Amino acid sequence: MKEYIMALDQGTTSSRCILFDKSGNICSMAQKEFTQIYPQPGWVEHNPKEIISTQFEVARMAMRKIYATAENICSIGITNQRETTVVWNKNTGEPVYNAIVWQCRRSADRIKGMDETVKEAIRNKTGLVPDAYFSASKIEWILDNVEGARQMAQNGELLFGTIDTWIVWNLTKGKLHITDYTNASRTMLFDINRLCWDNELLEYFHVPQSMLPTVVSSSDVYGVTDKEILGDEIVISGIAGDQQAALFGQCCFEEGDAKNTYGTGCFLLINTGDKRIESKHGLVTTLAAGTNADKPQYALEGSVFIGGAAIQWLRDEMKLIDNAADSLICARAVDDTAGVYIVPAFTGLGAPYWKPYCKGTVTGITRGCTKNHFVRATLESVAYHSNDLIKAMKEDAAGGINSLRVDGGACANDFLMQFQADISETTVVRPSCIETTALGAAYLAGLATGYYESTQDIRMNASVNKSFIPAMEKDKRQELLSGWDKAINCALSY
């Protein structure tokens, strides 16, 4: 009778629901965008209630589309935009403020003003590079700036949650206040060595312990939905932050397995097994999604701020292409970039450079440079920058990278994927199902209930759409990479 696993995929711009069958095929999907709120430059908020209403609505829509009822849903897995922070009243369920989104920079000065010893403690305990991006300073901001919030928090009347926590709390009508390891590891309050909330950091950010959710494994039977929400009770049994869910959905279960998501930005994660590796190149350490609560796996993570967004820029601002897919035709129309390099550091550079204020740069233009060269150089930049992270990961994780699994909108571009394989000297594998984030949440949920017996069972589902084998000669690669290094140095010197 039970045929599907429901993945609730709560993203930054939309709420989605996918129903998967046992083989990992998409049987139904529904998606709804919600409002982005920009109260001031650099501030980003969401309405927590709209997050819930859109998420529940798409769940019902996805079921309706294929005439599924609660009886047909084996269990629910949740994956979510990470770090985004909600604080609500425990008794009424009313949020005391909008959700402060991961992109929001409102607490950047707070982080900038911290002394080096605290920053060092944060790096050691949480594996993160101290930043306003993570939840800690967002919670503090709400308690300090919303009238009465601090007092209520001290009285034990407020709860904090990342979006997974907020969804589960609403799905269970307040019965469960939980988060999983992957989400906890992005709050900047969780000790990833001892696997517990860290009292010193809680004190430092003035966050009362009573607000915090219980931390659970990413795959376990946590409870059931309230029966009014989806027609009957449904088991909730998987939770993971979006990037860790994608790592799991890509079957990166073993040490050395890595994935890169080519979306607006690129997110590269490598599973480092049960070892916490401290990066020497500015990558962050984070907890990966796994099925063993006592022995979680670790990952190294790095991101490229402008990935597919560079292609959007070619389309929307430069008006060089009509749609993203045309970039492939332009790139293939020429043999190379005629020496042109583009570093699209529109919002500064992240790992391994960490130069937040540098700007985009174009180098090597000569009279013969055409639109096609320019487009090709932009596509190549996505691969070069991802390669900087791959190189850092290869150096940090002594075992190197087994192969690079890819997903996200821009992985559809064969030119980009082949160039990535060539420049990184790593095989790039594109799976048939590129909805890996939702798939990861579904797999975690299915493993907890016995729908899948083991990760081996899941591996059987993994089918490859295309593999890209490195084919560039070493000298050529060195020559191209040295051009990229020069271009990066120009951007860094801005």
Q: Which stretch binds ligand ADP (CB under 6 A): 24-32, 61-69, 320-328, 470-478?
A: 320-328
Cβ-based nearer residue to ligand ADP, 154 or 312: 312
Note whether 320 binds ligand ADP by CB under 6 A. Answer: no
Note whether 408 binds ligand ADP by CB under 6 A. Answer: yes
Q: Which of 312, 402, 427, 449 binds ligand ADP (CB under 6 A)?
A: 312
Rounded Cα gap, residues 432 and 406, in angstroms = 10
Which residues partner with 288 through β-bridges? 297
Burial degree of 427 (CB within 10 A; 0-12, 13-18, 19+): middle
Note whether 31 binds ligand ADP by CB under 6 A. Answer: no
Q: Which of 263, 290, 440, 483 binds ligand ADP (CB under 6 A)?
A: 263
Positions in 322-351 near ligand ADP (CB under 6 A) = 324-325, 327-328
Contacts of 463 (CB under 8 A, 6+ apart): 431, 432, 433
Shortest distance, CB of residue 102 to ligand ADP, whole angstroms? 13
Shortest distance, CB of residue 31 to ligand ADP, whole angstroms? 11
Shortest distance, CB of residue 168 to ligand ADP, whole angstroms? 23
DSSP one-letter string for 237-255:
EEEEEHHHHHHHHTT--ST
Q: Is the dihedral of CA 128, 131, 136, 138 positive or negative?
A: negative
Among candidates 180, 218, 201, 183, which has minimal Cα distance to 124?
Answer: 201
Tell me the residue nearest to ligand ADP as measured from the CB. Answer: 409
Shortest distance, CB of residue 315 to ligand ADP, whole angstroms? 7
Rounded Cα gap, residues 368 and 144, in angstroms = 58
Q: Which of 75, 183, 264, 361 binds ligand ADP (CB under 6 A)?
A: 264
The size of the interface with ligand ADP (CB under 6 A), counted in residues, is 15
Shortest distance, CB of residue 409 to ligand ADP, whole angstroms? 2
Q: Where would I find the beta strands (DSSP E) of 175-304? A: 178-180, 190-191, 196-197, 214-216, 219-224, 235-241, 258-262, 266-271, 284-288, 297-304
* 43 close to 108: Cβ distance less than 8 angstroms: no
Q: Which stretch binds ligand ADP (CB under 6 A): 171-179, 341-349, 390-398, 410-418?
A: 410-418
Neighbours of 298 (CB within 10 A): 23
Rounded Cα gap, residues 437 and 440, in angstroms = 5
Among candidates 463, 476, 274, 484, which has minimal Cα distance to 390?
Answer: 484
Rounded Cα gap, residues 324 and 347, in angstroms = 21
Q: Which stretch binds ligand ADP (CB under 6 A): 151-159, 279-287, 303-311, 388-396?
A: 303-311
Cβ-based nearer residue to ligand ADP, 95 or 308: 308
Cβ-based nearer residue to ligand ADP, 47 or 312: 312
Note whether 410 binds ligand ADP by CB under 6 A. Answer: yes
Q: Which stretch binds ligand ADP (CB under 6 A): 50-58, 231-239, 285-293, 408-416?
A: 408-416
Q: DSSP secondary-structure letter at 211?
A: G
Note whether 210 binds ligand ADP by CB under 6 A. Answer: no
Rounded Cα gap, residues 160 and 82, in angstroms = 14
Buried/exposed 344-359: b ≥16 CB within 10 Å, e otherwise:
bbebbbbbbbeeeebe
The torsion of the CA quartet 424, 425, 426, 429, rounded to 10 degrees, works out to: 80
Cβ-based nearer residue to ligand ADP, 9 or 396: 9
Note whether 308 binds ligand ADP by CB under 6 A. Answer: yes
Cβ-based nearer residue to ligand ADP, 130 or 308: 308
Note whether 440 binds ligand ADP by CB under 6 A. Answer: no
Q: Which of 159, 168, 178, 309 binds ligand ADP (CB under 6 A)?
A: 309
Shortest distance, CB of residue 11 to ligand ADP, whole angstroms? 7
Shortest distance, CB of residue 160 to ligand ADP, whole angstroms? 26
Q: Which of 75, 219, 279, 413 binds ligand ADP (CB under 6 A)?
A: 413
Cβ-based nearer residue to ligand ADP, 266 or 445: 266
Q: Which stretch binds ligand ADP (CB under 6 A): 209-217, 219-227, 342-350, 405-413?
A: 405-413
Burial degree of 409 (CB within 10 A; 0-12, 13-18, 19+): middle
Note whether 311 binds ligand ADP by CB under 6 A. Answer: yes
Rg of the chain over all Cα atoms, to the nearest angstrom: 22
Tabulate helix, strand, coil % of the chain (nearest 5).
Answer: 35, 25, 40
Contacts of 165 (CB under 8 A, 6+ apart): 86, 177, 178, 179, 183, 213
Cβ-based nearer residue to ligand ADP, 309 or 397: 309
Shortest distance, CB of residue 460 to ligand ADP, whole angstroms? 26
Fill in the amino acid letter for 462. A
Q: Which of 223, 409, 455, 481 binds ligand ADP (CB under 6 A)?
A: 409
Shortest distance, CB of residue 383 to ligand ADP, whole angstroms? 11
**3-state DSSP call for residue 2?**
coil
Shortest distance, CB of residue 416 to ligand ADP, whole angstroms? 6
Applying CB under 6 A, which residues contact ligand ADP? 263-264, 308-309, 311-312, 324-325, 327-328, 408-410, 412-413
